[in-house]
Amino acid sequence: KRLPPGPWKLPIIGNQHQLGDSPHKSIQLLSRKHGSMMFLQLGAVPTLVISSADAAMAIFKGGGTGHDVVFSGRPIDLYVAKKFSYNLNSISFAPYGDLWREMRKIAMVELLSSKRVNSFRTVREEEVAAMVDHIGSTSSTVNLSKLSMLLANNVVCRVAFGKKYGGRDGGGGGKCRFNSVMHETQVLLGAFLLSDYFPWMGWLNKFNGVEARVEKCFNELDKLYDEVIEDHLVPTRSTVVHEDIVDVLLRFQKDPSQVSLNNQQIKGILTDMFIAETDTTASTLVWTFTEIIRNPPCMQKVQDEVREVANGRNMIEESDLPILNYLQLIIKEALRLHPPVPLSVPRETTEDCIIGDYEISAKTRIIMDVRSIGLDPKYWKNPNEFRPERFINNIVDFKGKHFEFLPFGVGRRGCPGLNFAIVLVQLVIANFLNRFDWKLPDGMRVEDVNMEEDTGLTMFKKTPLCLVATRVV
């Protein structure tokens, strides 16, 4: 086969050893050397890495030759993903086909449509207000990394289940019992497992404790889902205020004219919502704050804008968001420099195809290096600098139509939760900036802010972002 260029590989392990501890960084460096369509052999898994806007365009635009469909599979043999997606019964991990199509349609039309996202407005505004109060009542330094995660989790808990299952006060008004089990699920999903690349090493998971850890976490999560579903089946339950995600999914289950979802599929979709929402939202909040705290003129400008619109009010409401133009620019720029899922969610080709001069086989793993794509010097001037102004009078946005900016992915498997995420991120940042002045802890300079990234599916800041908040309204 005429494969794209790639580094030399060793027998059996192929290029696995070249990924090191930070795969997204190693992949970026290797691509710079070998090209923006690069072939890697990761153990038993043939892998194509896409790391430029032009390469993404060749595949997903492809002159109408339909490569998007061929590149819309997902790997079906990732150990942890298979378990937590209830054996591939989820939107994110279902193989490309009828089940995925049906579930995706439910997500687009029912769960994450603009109308549904709007119906959760009160939840978002209440949770943000509770978090603002919580920050206002703390005299010490605020750990924004921790609070962002908590806030994102609380919102998704109420949106999905109608209430926070818990009640213990965890800051921001009661902590959802799903928080810790979801955190563990996320850690497991982001873990590097040898058995994902060397299928004959599946036995290793038994001996190194991974299997026991996965089973424990999964059983705990499954039990919580059973409790939530049972609560939603109580005949006297009212959905007058608004239907939550479980209500909608159960409505589908009961309606014979609709596609029938079984409980496994309902739970798979719930896991999608949690996993896809929390880490990504928290990561976007933290990196945006990190960038503006390092760029005082940007901080000043966005703060002035927000306060002018608030005009002395305590809270920015969602109806204010569309006119907060500079706020939108800083979030876009933070997503370009720090896309929360830097290597996107892995895909797999569904059949053989030809891209330019190269022949790509069916079942090739596809890594979309969306971080490198957002730094592509052909499209971005001074790509490593935080310059929100680059988006002024620039039609490029993150909805998957501009191949140089793909933080939410691209094509038919692109992220369906974009609207859900963006409105929450905007609301949180606007309110945090309206109510507080933010500064680095005493003695710390802008240059001291640690910009190291953690590893995993989601790109977190390695050290928590801790800032001092001074109440102004």
Q: How far is the CB of 201 from ligand HEM (least distance, A)?
A: 26
Q: How far is the CB of 112 from ligand HEM (least distance, A)?
A: 6
In this structure, are strands 358-360 and 353-355 parallel, antiparallel, or unpaired?
antiparallel
The answer to whether the CB of 458 falls within 8 A of the CB of 188 is no
The answer to whether the CB of 51 falls within 8 A of the CB of 369 is yes
Which of 301, 278, 293 is closest to 141 using CA atoms? 293
Which residue, 56 or 217, has its beta carbon nearer to ligand HEM?
56
d(CA 259, CA 262): 10
Query: For ligand HEM, which stretch binds (CB under 6 A), given 201-209, 325-333, 342-350, 351-359?
Result: 342-350
Query: For ligand HEM, which stretch binds (CB under 6 A), given 165-173, 204-212, 344-352, 356-364?
Result: 344-352
Cross-strand partners of 10? 14
Backbone φ and ψ of 67, nearest 5°:
-65, -25
176 known member of a binding site: no
Q: How far is the CB of 400 from ligand HEM (least distance, A)?
A: 7
Which of 397, 240, 401, 428 is closest to 316 using CA atoms? 428
d(CA 148, CA 428): 9
Q: How far is the CB of 261 from ligand HEM (least distance, A)?
A: 15
Which residue, 128 or 210, has its beta carbon nearer to ligand HEM?
128
Q: State which of residues 6, 23, 172, 416 lies at the interface with ligand HEM (CB under 6 A).
A: 416
272 binds ligand HEM (CB under 6 A): yes
Which residue, 15 or 344, has its beta carbon nearer to ligand HEM?
344
Q: State which of residues 28, 148, 186, 284 lies at the interface with ligand HEM (CB under 6 A).
A: 284
Which residue, 31 or 426, has its beta carbon nearer to ligand HEM?
426
146 binds ligand HEM (CB under 6 A): no
d(CA 72, CA 411): 8
d(CA 290, CA 137): 22
Check the CA dihedral 466-471-472-473 and report its sign: positive
Which residue, 93 or 436, has its beta carbon nearer to ligand HEM?
93
Q: How far is the CB of 431 from ligand HEM (least distance, A)?
A: 18
281 binds ligand HEM (CB under 6 A): yes
277 binds ligand HEM (CB under 6 A): yes
Q: State which of residues 4, 6, 388, 407 lies at the interface with ligand HEM (CB under 6 A).
A: 407
Enclosing H/E stretch for 367: strand 365-368
413 binds ligand HEM (CB under 6 A): yes
CA-based max dimension of the chain: 66
HSE value, Cβ hemisphere, 13 Å, CA-based, for 309: 23
Which residue, 53 or 421, has its beta carbon nearer to ligand HEM?
421
Q: Rounded to an integer, what is the distance from CA 124 to the centroid of its chain?
A: 18
Residues 420-449 that bind ligand HEM (CB under 6 A): 420-421
H helices within 137-209, ranges in order? 144-161, 178-190, 204-207
92 binds ligand HEM (CB under 6 A): yes
Query: For ligand HEM, which stretch binds (CB under 6 A), given 164-172, 196-204, 348-356, 410-418?
Result: 410-418
Take residue 114 and report the two structure tokens written for it: 């603009």
Integer-rounded Cα Rg, in Å, for the chain is 22
3-state class of 356 per DSSP? Answer: coil
Q: State which of residues 16, 28, 195, 280 lies at the interface with ligand HEM (CB under 6 A).
A: 280
Type of residue found at 338: H
Site string for ligand HEM, 169-198 (x = CB under 6 A): ------------------------------
Q: How far is the CB of 10 from ligand HEM (least distance, A)?
A: 29
Residue 373 CB partners (closer than 8 Å, separation 6+)? 50, 51, 52, 53, 56, 403, 404, 405, 406
Q: How far is the CB of 473 from ligand HEM (least distance, A)?
A: 27
Q: State which of residues 153, 409, 426, 436 lies at the interface with ligand HEM (CB under 6 A).
A: 409
In this structure, are strands 358-360 and 347-348 parallel, antiparallel, or unpaired?
unpaired
Q: How far is the CB of 366 from ligand HEM (least distance, A)?
A: 9
Annotated binding residues for heme: 415
Which positions touch ligand HEM (CB under 6 A)?
A: 91-92, 104, 107, 112, 272-273, 276-277, 280-281, 284, 340-341, 344-345, 347, 407-410, 413-417, 420-421
Annotated binding residues: 415
